[in-house]
Amino acid sequence: MQFELTEDQHLLQQTVRKFARETLLPVAAELDEEGKFPKAQVARMAELGLMGIMAPVEYGGAGMDPVCYAVAMEEISAGCASCGVIMSVNNSLVVDPILKYGTEAQKRAYLPDLTSGRTLGCFGLSEPGTGSDAAAQTTIAEKKGDRWIINGSKNWITNGKEADVFLMMAMGDKSKGVKGINAYIIPMNTPGLTVAKNEKKLGIKASSTTQVILENVSLSLDALLGKEGDGFKIAMGSLDGGRIGIASQALGIARQAFEEARDYAKERHAFGAPIANFQAIQFKLADMAMEIDAARLLIWRAAALKGAGQKFGPQAAMAKLFASEMATRVTHQAIQIFGGFGYSKEYPAERHYRDARITEIYEGTSEIQRLVIGRHALTS
């Protein structure tokens, strides 16, 4: 067992950290305030190979391992949490399943553009009435001759407003339950597909979260990803990887909040001394540092298992559960250390607190992670 990053992983960490500090951190507050999609920043991330970090070089990817993905996601999210989720969805929920289940023609058609940043992907599983119970898909896919006809709507679509490619699940045969769910790759400009409401949110405001409505969307048969009935397995498997990404996003947010609170504690004086001299503050910082480290270890373990081709779903759920709840605790304490300034927009502490909260909800709520972990505990 070894806990150190390899030389390549370390180099990537340094490169992405420098990029995030110089390019993302200075504009993160403005992007949040204006709810502005970070187009230029995402283009720079793509140049660094971050939009297809685990995809093989032959499909335009960076050919790196899942630990690199986790490391890069932590750094990007420390700079800008919205950039983190944009990157995570493209990598884990779009590029990864196309790589795993796509035909050679689908890989050639979609991956080079998605990995190079020429296009952006989004993922559709949730619906207005279907969230945690992902098997209850009501979006319908009917095969009519040599076409698939899709009708329904999808909710909470990260990147929905800017995306070019939609990887989406729909019910093809209700009588088969979860085995009747199919996955499709749909160009966003397909007639009948409309990007509807763009949600106003508490945090990650620079990323879009939309509804997508599908009315008689007609697709050729080769829009199907994998085989008929593979959709649920594809969605669940992709989310296993996605949970490593979101856990790393939570970690990056928490680390940034911790570092800013620590630095502030060394400067801010009260009762004749820097507040960092008081145990009340030191104990908070100690707990924050310990929890951040624990989350990172859980994340790197899940990522290493994925990289080794081993089962990693329950470990990814543990990493995501712990890291997301940790990020809420850490960002809460960071505000406490800043006091009134933490509550004001003068410092970024309040943004970190708002950005952290979603990590307990998307790509499986904390309750769903406990369900996955609990089922694993009972059967292993």
**How many C-alpha atoms does 353 have within 13 Å on its Cβ side?**
18
Residue 21 beta carbon to ligand CAA: minimum distance, rounded to whole angstroms: 25
- Using the rule CB under 6 A, which residue among 20, 89, 98, 183 binds ligand CAA? 89
Binding window for ligand CAA (CB under 6 A); candidates: 38-46, 222-230, 293-301, 363-371: 363-371
3-state secondary structure 237-300: HHHHHHHHHHHHHHHHHHHHHHHHHHHHHHHCEECCEEHHHCHHHHHHHHHHHHHHHHHHHHHH
Distance from C-alpha of 172 to C-alpha of 154, rounded to nearest angstrom: 16
Of 48-87, binders to ligand CAA (CB under 6 A) are: none
Count, residues near ligand CAA per rule CB under 6 A: 25
Contact by Cβ (8 Å): 89, 123:
yes
The nearer residue to ligand CAA, 302 or 372, going by C-beta atoms, is 372
The nearer residue to ligand CAA, 92 or 115, going by C-beta atoms, is 92
Q: Is 313 in the site for ligand CAA (CB under 6 A)?
A: yes
- Using the rule CB under 6 A, which residue among 95, 163, 295, 368 binds ligand CAA? 368
Q: Is 362 in the site for ligand CAA (CB under 6 A)?
A: yes
- Using the rule CB under 6 A, which residue among 134, 318, 326, 337 binds ligand CAA? 134
Residue 40 beta carbon to ligand CAA: minimum distance, rounded to whole angstroms: 22
- Here the tokens at position 38 are 């970070």
Site string for ligand CAA, 165-204 (x = CB under 6 A): -------------x--------------------------
Residue 235, amino acid: A
Nearest in space to 78 (alpha carbons), one of 286, 243, 296, 228: 296
Q: How many residues does the chain have?
A: 380
DSSP string, 203-234: S-TTS-EEEEEEEEEEEEGGGEESSTT-HHHH
Distance of CA 64 to the CA centre of its chain: 18
Residue 37 backbone class (left: φ over 0; alpha: ψ -120 to 50; beta: rest): beta
Distance from C-alpha of 377 to C-alpha of 71, rounded to nearest angstrom: 28
- Using the rule CB under 6 A, which residue among 29, 371, 373, 376 binds ligand CAA? 371
The nearer residue to ligand CAA, 64 or 89, going by C-beta atoms, is 89
Cβ atoms within 10 A of the Cβ of 313, count? 19
Distance from C-alpha of 355 to C-alpha of 237, rounded to nearest angstrom: 25
Residue 200 beta carbon to ligand CAA: minimum distance, rounded to whole angstroms: 16
Contact by Cβ (8 Å): 13, 75:
yes
Nearest in space to 150 (alpha carbons), one of 133, 165, 169, 131: 169
The nearer residue to ligand CAA, 39 or 176, going by C-beta atoms, is 176
Residue 258 beta carbon to ligand CAA: minimum distance, rounded to whole angstroms: 24
Helices and strands in the chain, H and E counts: 13, 10
Q: Which residues contact 310 (CB under 8 A, 6 or more apart)?
A: none
The nearer residue to ligand CAA, 111 or 368, going by C-beta atoms, is 368
Q: Which residues are catalytic?
A: 363
Residue 163 beta carbon to ligand CAA: minimum distance, rounded to whole angstroms: 10
Residue 125 beta carbon to ligand CAA: minimum distance, rounded to whole angstroms: 5
- Using the rule CB under 6 A, which residue among 79, 231, 342, 364 binds ligand CAA? 364
Q: List Cα–Cα distances, 379 to 236, 314, 372, in angstroms.
A: 18, 11, 11
The nearer residue to ligand CAA, 205 or 284, going by C-beta atoms, is 205
The nearer residue to ligand CAA, 174 or 269, going by C-beta atoms, is 174
The nearer residue to ligand CAA, 232 or 347, going by C-beta atoms, is 232
Site string for ligand CAA, 104-133 (x = CB under 6 A): -------------------x-xx-----xx
Site string for ligand CAA, 230-249 (x = CB under 6 A): --xx--xx-xx---------
Q: Is 292 in the site for ligand CAA (CB under 6 A)?
A: no
Give the binding site for ligand CAA (CB under 6 A).
Answer: 89, 123, 125-126, 132-135, 156-158, 178, 232-233, 236-237, 239-240, 313, 362-364, 368, 371-372
